[in-house]
Amino acid sequence: MAATNIVYREIANKRATWALLALCGLFIVAGAGAHLTMEHYGHVITGMDNRIVWGLPHVFAVFLIVAASGALNVASTASVFGKSIYKPLAPLSALLALALLAGGLTVLMLDLGRPDRIIVAATTYNFKSVFAWNVFLYTGFFTIVGAYLWMMMERRMNAYAKHLGAAAFIWRLVLTTGTGSIFGFLVARQAYQSAVLAPTFIAFSLSYGTAIYLLVLAGACAIDDRPLGDAIVRRLKNLLATFVAASLYLVAVLHLTNLYFTRNHGIENFILMDGGIFTGLFWIGQVGIGSVLPLVLLLAPAKANLVRNRVLTASAAVVIGGFCQMYVTIIGGQAWPLNLFPGYKVSSSFFDGEVHNYAPSIWEIMLGLGGVALAIAIVFLALRLLRFLPERLDDATLDPSHAHAD
Amino acid sequence: MLRRLLRWFTPVLAAVGVLAALPTLAAADVPKPDIIIAHPGSKCIAPPDVMRRTHMTMLLHQREKTLRLGERGAKVSLEGCIECHANKTNNSVLGSNQNFCQTCHAYVAVKVDCFDCHQPKTGMVKTTGIKP
Amino acid sequence: MSEDNTPDAPAVQDPARRAFFGVSASAAAAAAGFVALAPGVRLMELAHAQSAYPAAGKFASSKIRWGMLIDTTKCATGCSACVSACNTENAIEPGSGRPAQSSQWIRKIELTEQADGHRELSLPMMCQHCANPPCVDVCPTGASFKRADGIVLVDRHICIGCRYCMMACPYQARSFVDEPLHDQNPEVPRGQGCVEACTLCVQRIDRGLGPACVEACTQAGHGAMLFGDLNDPKSEIATRIATTASSQVRADLRLDPGVRYQGI
């Protein structure tokens, strides 16, 4: 097999690498500054309040966490489903998964009201809390994927990589189910109380993770002038298209099941028809840019030399659509008022019965971008220091027998 | 793999170590606590050396009982500490290095978390309900 | 300050508690007299006169379930005596941020029936002290908890400020303290970075008084709020719930709230 002869190499000591890391460093410092400012003055300086209790930091954090699980797709395909062409790409996949999770959790943690007390989340548990389950799921993910990565990269351990890969595959499905359930178990909120939310989040994770993987792979190859073959891009293209279609389908199911119940017509009308920014982000961002555009780009017939650009454009569109989706899900769901007294028009000093507005502050934006920068920095620093990526990723190296097949 | 990691991270670890050691070296200059309290007396619930060593555990155990189990009027009480140990000038256990809680906690460099929520002053309005 | 507000003594269950209720009632009466005699007296003194906590070693009893019955037909539109009393008792002040960022442990909701557009109602909404509280279920650290006597509280010592409970509460009863505080009531610790909500004035209940809002409502002459032990069949609140129709807000969620409403 070709895979056994592949030479892995760290990316070269180039100005471009360090420039990227420096840029990330800038954003990380800005994010840290935003966190310190928020901790000093309190959340009063943010756009969040007692109605929109989870804001932009949570949009970034949940997006990154969901994408982390999906970034493992390539590794799973190699080890669980035995597709050897993906095998050389698996270490980057596991690395990206860890980096995205680290970035997302950092944002989530630094947005807490008492981040200084984060250790409490590890010392006292309420086992009934979906959040507490997630603490286990996240640490377990780090451990399993970390071990998996080690077994892939340490030649003596290669034989065990397959088993760890299977464990990681199961674990990340459970992890995303857990992330989706954070929202799905909120029975009081009309936007979330749905069992469809957990599988929907799994579909989101598969497509966001694959899209980010493609972008990072192309970025790493570009920064180091490594050849990247079309065959692998084509295969990932089909994978991505499947995941985007599955996400779109589940989103449709989610809204159609909600629409079946007359009591949910208010919230559905809000998100789908007259929710202003949320309706716009849903139709233009989540559905248009995030689903339809990528599907067209990925599935429409294209000349061979255009495929790569289309796939990368589609990936970027999926990422943008993913952010829009998280914004609509998390913030749109809270903007809609709780319905305490059906059949009554209500008003109060606490904005009962009103749609609430949210305007993120610069601090929340900086914190969120800091998390993204942290994830990118971890990936590229690791690529610079350790041998994660094959020297050549052209068709002949990866899989000579399939060099010309689709 | 491990060796490569070590090669890169040894200088980083060394730098972190030096930075972490700096405050310890500087601590030699911190003056010993010099406390002025408003109502000095011998009413404390335990001798000073016991209090110094175990007040945190006492408070930790009592807070569970008071908050979670609803025990009131217990011997150990943060309010009790403040009642006796507040400084004459500002009626508080915080404020300067002459204030009871602050001075020792500054000396041993332990963050005192209590007063993020608890009132550090005596003489504040307690149960009021409606104004008479 | 009248004896009406003293909660129904859970005489059957706990003789010691009963004795302490007696003491506190007379202490309260004495305090009231003291105020009348010397209007300039500092509230501090009043508080000291009132502070008749039971002796150490007495714990909240699971035989009791504190609750409240709110008669919306007596609750006056535009009256916010309960809200002001709560704010004074618990030292809650408007924050420096937007109105939606200030803590509100209790709020008045004005309702208009949509069908006819005429019937108007007004009622106070606060933590409903559910028997099956969703905030307690979702709290990752166990900071949200229910005391033996049914009062749902936040343990600020281990609250990390994740706000998941605020997402889970169907009543929007919780607030997040989003800036440093300084003028707390010594008996009501509150601080930046933690979530908080109505405590049923636990510091008053433990010394035998009822919640401040109930007291204020009675004193304002409305008497729309009744506080007592739902578990004691002889208490006024249990009798009224047994004999007149009352409802739970969002009863569909089966949370068994400790706060009940009449006239909705």
Q: What is the pLDDT of residue B23?
A: 61
- The amino acid that residue A159 corresponds to is A
Domain carrying residue A49: 2-402
First-to-last C-alpha distance (Å) of chain A: 19
Q: What is the pLDDT of residue A18?
A: 93
From the CA of B104, how many Å to the nearest CA of chain C? 21
CA distance C256 to C244: 18
Q: C214: which 2 tokens?
A: 């109930």
A44 vs C125: CB contact, 8 Å cut-off?
Answer: no
Q: What is the pLDDT of residue A360?
A: 97
DSSP secondary structure of A17-45: HHHHHHHHHHHHHHHHHHHHHHHHH-GGG
H or E element at residue A197: helix A197-223
pLDDT of B31 over the 90 cut = no
C56 vs B74: CB contact, 8 Å cut-off?
Answer: yes
Q: What is the largest distance, in Å, between two alpha-carbon atoms of chain C?
A: 56
Q: What CATH number corresponds to the domain at position C217?
A: 3.30.70.20
A–B CB contacts, 8 A cutoff, strictly below: 9
Domain carrying residue C249: 63-262
Q: A385: which chain B residues are within 8 Å (Cβ-Cβ)?
A: 4-5, 8
Q: A45: which chain C residues are within 8 Å (Cβ-Cβ)?
A: 97
CA distance A206 to A66: 8
Q: Is residue C191 part of a domain?
A: yes
Q: Is B5 on the interface with A (CB under 8 A)?
A: yes
- The amino acid that residue C171 corresponds to is Y
Q: What is the pLDDT of residue B22?
A: 66
Nearest neighbour of C163 by CB, restricted to A41, A54, A356: A54
Determine the average pLDDT of the residues in B33-55. 80
User: Which chains are within 8 Å of C by 3+ CB pairs?
Assistant: A, B
CA distance C124 to C84: 12
Q: What CATH number corresponds to the domain at position A216?
A: 1.20.1630.10
Q: Which residues of A102-118 are buried (b: 16+ CB within 10 A; e: fewer)?
A: bbbbbbbbbbbbbbebe
Q: A386: which chain B residues are within 8 Å (Cβ-Cβ)?
A: 1, 4-5
Contact predicate A234/A158, CB 8 Å: no
**Residues forming a β-bridge with A146:** none
Q: Which has more pLDDT, B20 or A354?
A: A354
CA distance C43 to C35: 9
CA distance C22 to C34: 18
Q: What is the pLDDT of residue B39?
A: 65
Nearest Cα to Cα of residue A67 among A261, A352, A315, A335: A315
Contact predicate A245/A278, CB 8 Å: no
CA distance C242 to C245: 8
- The amino acid that residue A169 corresponds to is F
Total domains, chain C: 1
Q: Which of C122, C128, C157, C164 to mutate to test the interface with A (most CBs of A within 10 A)?
A: C164
Q: How many CB atoms lie within 10 A of CB B120?
A: 25
Q: What is the pLDDT of residue B126?
A: 60
Q: What is the pLDDT of residue B8?
A: 67
First-to-last C-alpha distance (Å) of chain B: 74
pLDDT of B130 over the 50 cut = no
In chain B, where are the structural domains located?
Answer: 30-132
Q: Is residue C67 part of a domain?
A: yes
Nearest 5°: the CA angle A175, A177, A179 is 70
Nearest Cα to Cα of residue A211 among A101, A307, A306, A294: A294
Q: B81: which 2 tokens?
A: 């500490």
- Secondary structure letter of residue A291 according to DSSP: I
Determine the average pLDDT of the residues in B65-80. 92
Q: How many CB atoms lie within 10 A of CB B73?
A: 16
Q: What is the pLDDT of residue B6?
A: 65
Nearest neighbour of C162 by CB, restricted to A48, A112, A349: A112
User: Which chains are within 8 Å of B by 3+ CB pairs?
Assistant: A, C
Q: What is the pLDDT of residue B10?
A: 74
Q: What is the ipTM of this complex?
A: 0.91
C170 vs A43: CB contact, 8 Å cut-off?
Answer: no
A385 vs B4: CB contact, 8 Å cut-off?
Answer: yes
Q: What is the pLDDT of residue C14?
A: 42
Q: Is B8 on the interface with A (CB under 8 A)?
A: yes
- pLDDT in tens for each of the 406 residues of chain A? 444 578 888 888 889 999 999 999 999 999 999 999 999 999 999 999 999 999 999 999 999 999 999 999 899 888 888 888 888 999 999 999 999 999 999 999 999 999 999 998 888 889 999 989 998 999 999 999 999 999 988 888 888 888 999 999 999 999 999 988 888 888 888 888 888 888 999 999 999 999 999 999 999 999 989 988 888 899 899 999 999 999 999 999 999 999 998 888 999 999 999 999 999 999 999 999 999 999 999 999 988 888 999 999 999 999 999 999 999 999 999 999 999 999 899 999 999 999 999 999 999 999 999 999 999 999 999 999 999 999 888 887 776 665 444 4
Tally of CA atoms within 13 A in the half-sphere of A93 that contains its CB:
29
- pLDDT in tens for each of the 264 residues of chain C? 333 444 443 333 343 443 344 444 444 444 443 333 333 333 443 444 455 677 788 899 999 999 999 999 999 999 999 999 999 999 999 999 999 999 999 999 999 998 877 788 999 999 999 999 999 999 999 999 999 999 999 999 999 999 999 999 999 999 999 999 998 999 999 999 999 999 999 999 998 999 999 999 999 999 999 999 999 999 999 999 999 999 999 999 999 999 999 998
**Phi, psi dihedrals of residue A47, rounded to the nearest 5°:** -80, -5
DSSP secondary structure of A70-99: HHTHHHHHHHTS--GGGGGGHHHHHHHHHH
Own/partner pairs, A120-127, CB within 8 angstroms, 24+ separation: A120/C141, A120/C158, A120/C160, A121/C140, A121/C141, A121/C160, A124/C141, A124/C142, A124/C158, A125/C140, A125/C141, A125/C142, A126/C136, A126/C137, A126/C139, A126/C140, A126/C141, A126/C142
Total domains, chain A: 1
Q: What is the pLDDT of residue C145?
A: 97
